[in-house]
Amino acid sequence: MTGTNPPKNRTGLILALILFVVLIIAVTVVVKLLYPDEPAGTETGESGNSSTGVVVFQSYYIEPERVDTGDCATLHWTVENADDIQLLRDGSVVVDQGKASDSYRDCPNQAAVYKYRLEASNSENANWIELQLIVDE
């Protein structure tokens, strides 16, 4: 007996293939909505462009935070999206044009509380943090 209806196992295969194609299309649409293409000219690494985006301090600390007069402490930092980085001690620049990941060693010879301000900026924004070093006699 020959009929025009395809066998049942073939019908299931056709339905599975249609569902698979619909799934691929749905995933493609969702990915395009979540991760749209960046506009032309915003690719990272283009020569001549400065950093853009929010300036972020990934890490920053001073070790040790307390020393005796004449002993040294080191400030460490890692900054993202910054073109210009400066470190000031009590308002005076001690590091100009610092690197994104850098450190500064200081050995104050007077007892005091020293305030350090790390400033970072790019063409769109700026950010800063403050640290302090306590120097005992």
What single string gives the DSSP state of each residue in 24-71?
HHHHHHHHHHHSPPPPTT--TT-TTPPP-S--EEEEEEEESSEEETT-
Residues 64 and 127 in one domain: yes
Structural domain for 122, as ranges? 56-136
Residue at 60 is within a domain: yes
| 66-68/73-80 β-pairing | unpaired
Residue at 48 is within a domain: no
Q: Which CATH number is 102's domain given?
A: 2.60.40.10
Residues 74 and 28 in one domain: no
Residue at 120 is within a domain: yes
Give the pLDDT confidence score for residue 44 in this predicted structure.
39
Residues 132 and 85 in one domain: yes
Residues 90 and 123 in one domain: yes
Q: Is 107:70 a contact under the CB 8 Å cutoff?
A: yes
Please give the average pLDDT of every successive group of 10 residues along the chain, which has 137 residues. 60 82 81 62 42 88 96 96 95 94 95 96 93 96
Q: How far apart are CA 137 and CA 67, in angstroms?
A: 9
Give the pLDDT confidence score for residue 2 in this predicted structure.
56
Q: Is the peptide bond before 36 cis (omega within 30 degrees of 0)?
A: no
Domain count across the chain: 2
Residues 18 and 63 in one domain: no
Residues 7 and 74 in one domain: no
Residue at 115 is within a domain: yes
What is the three-class DSSP state of 20? helix
Q: How far apart are CA 7 and CA 108, in angstroms?
A: 89
Residue at 45 is within a domain: no
95 torsion bin: left (phi>0), alpha (psi -120 to 50), beta (else): beta
What phi and psi, each to the nearest 5 degrees, are found at residue 124? -105, -30
